[in-house]
Amino acid sequence: MDIPPIAVHASTQANNYSLDRIKFLDAIGVKRIVLARELSLSEISVVRDNTRCELESFVYGALCVSLSGQCYMSLVSGGRSANRGCCAQPCRNLYSLKDGRGNIISKERHLLSLKDMNRMAFVPELIKAGVTSFKIEGRLKDEHYVKNITAYFRKALDQELEKHSAFRKASSGQTSLLFNPDPEKTFHRGSTDYLLTGKRGSIALPETSKSTGKPVGRVVEAAHGYIRIKGSEELHNNDGLVFFDKQNVLRGLKVNKIEGEMIFIGKTPLMPQKGTAVYRNYDHEFLKSLRKDKSLRKIKVSLEISFKGDNSLLVRAVDEDAIAVENEYHQSFQPAQKGQFAAGNIQKQLSKSGPTPFYTDRVTINWEFPVFVPSSLLNKCRQEILHKLEQERLSFFRPVPYELPASDAIFPYEKLDFTFNVSNKLARRFYKRHGVRQIDKALEIVMPSGEIVVMTTKHCLKFELGLCVNEQKITDRGRLNEPLFLYNKDGIYKLRFNCKECFMHVIRV
């Protein structure tokens, strides 16, 4: 497009899964590529070895079950396009599964709903693999989730920065956290690293698509109106608890009050039985502390005050980016009767930073002999030097135009089907300029009849059923009568399995 020379980032919606497409984006000058969630550490390392651009990786949050940019289920089932930011999240709905003979294999479960991603344990490995930016999913999340999870990763990144002097942050400032972040205390569906190590493991949560929260223990007694739980978590009035009943349906409880070990529950149609695992998905005290939290991110600055004789002083400020300013003041000063008190007052007044974007890390006093400086003058000096430093920082900011190269790179495919999402003349012109000869229109433009692949996913229902041909030898007796069909009140979908590349395709029939 004919736009100012700005840096272009390739969203994960560009389906940045295959190396050839990623290398093409790098060749045409894309500054940052948001990698597909499905890539493993080794695959990310290969991408790093073959590209020059910045790489961004998801590290936390809700998972799209489909390859990003390759899901049309919301569009086909309800007219809301995921590729246009309008996904209705049909993957979180209940589905049943039947085989080719009509036998029901699984009934009314959240068969396409995945756990949430949490790659905290792999932050060092992701950095080593070449990732320079970490992405947290936050669609429809509230402010408590945002504060909790960003703080959770802020701590981890700061620890890595302290370990490696060669690393540097992309922006200035130090965050002072006044609470202890815990991802299980805000919206939480369980955790998976999601294929990062190359091992599949348990990535699905078919029992529910709602927040399960944090495990708090097991029921040791359930009576009329109250329960007792054995666990290590302290519960509070107004907490929200959940448990799975015998049918694996998630049930909720509200804590009315706590007396010793007795947890009195509000009116509920069903109480948990003895031995049932209980989770807290609403932590009243934690959320209250987040609402009151005053954690701040500020730029570290050192102040130095130097006296020249008894009639002038120089104030100098240097921030963490080595930007420095100074002011000189001419005024007569009287020797201090109590040198320690005079020094303490200077430290106290200059250490204040108030609503400025700075916090004072250190105050240095240079003098031949202690002098008395009025607090009013010290406050004036501090306010003026910090304002001057802020203006100096702004003057250092110069947007650098990002020139895209005049690239003649050839797109790796000559023919594009609807999965490339070409829906306007600019996109069509772009692909033709890079060697594409045949371009089908996006589904949002033309909806063909017949079978359509509406989802391509690494989540495999055969694997979930213990029938993965790549994981174990399946006898004819253990094989399913294919094709399999996924269905609910909104529609029916046929499943096709590409076991060689480990994909499941969901097809509208």
Domain ranges for the chain: 213-292, 300-394
Other residues' Cβ atoms within 10 Å of the Cβ of residue 432: 13
Side chain identity at 210, as an amino acid letter? K
The model's pLDDT over 204-235, given as tens digits with 9 standing for 90+, comes to: 999 999 999 999 999 999 998 899 999 989 99
Separation of CA 51 from chain center: 24
pTM, rounded to two decimals: 0.92
pLDDT score of 474: 57
Alpha-carbon span 467 to 18, nearest angstrom: 27
> Angle between the 375-396 and 339-351 helix axes, to the nearest 10 degrees?
40
**Strand order, beta sheet including 503-508:** 104-109, 95-98, 484-488, 491-498, 503-508, 452-457
SS3 126: helix
pLDDT score of 201: 85
Band of pLDDT at residue 471, cut at 50, 70 and 90:
confident
pLDDT score of 402: 85
Alpha-carbon span 392 to 201, nearest angstrom: 53
Asked whether the predicted pLDDT for residue 137 surpasses 60, the reply is: yes
Arithmetic mean of pLDDT, 241-250: 94
pLDDT score of 135: 97
pLDDT score of 476: 52
Averaged confidence pLDDT in the chain: 94
Q: Which two tokens stand for residue 113?
A: 């709903």
DSSP 482: S
Band of pLDDT at residue 257, cut at 50, 70 and 90:
very high
pLDDT score of 399: 81
Asked whether the predicted pLDDT for residue 200 surpasses 80, the reply is: yes
Q: Which two tokens stand for residue 394?
A: 């702004």
Pick the range with the lowest mean pLDDT from 265-279, 329-343, 475-489: 475-489
* Fold of domain 213-292: Thrombin, subunit H (2.40.10)
Asked whether the predicted pLDDT for residue 475 surpasses 70, the reply is: no
DSSP 63: P
Arithmetic mean of pLDDT, 225-248: 94
What contacts 209, CB < 8 A, 6 or more positions away? 92, 93, 110, 113, 189
Q: What percent of the chain has pLDDT over 90?
A: 86
DSSP 162: H
Pick the range with the lowest mean pLDDT from 107-116, 122-131, 478-487: 478-487
Q: Which two tokens stand for residue 143?
A: 């402010």
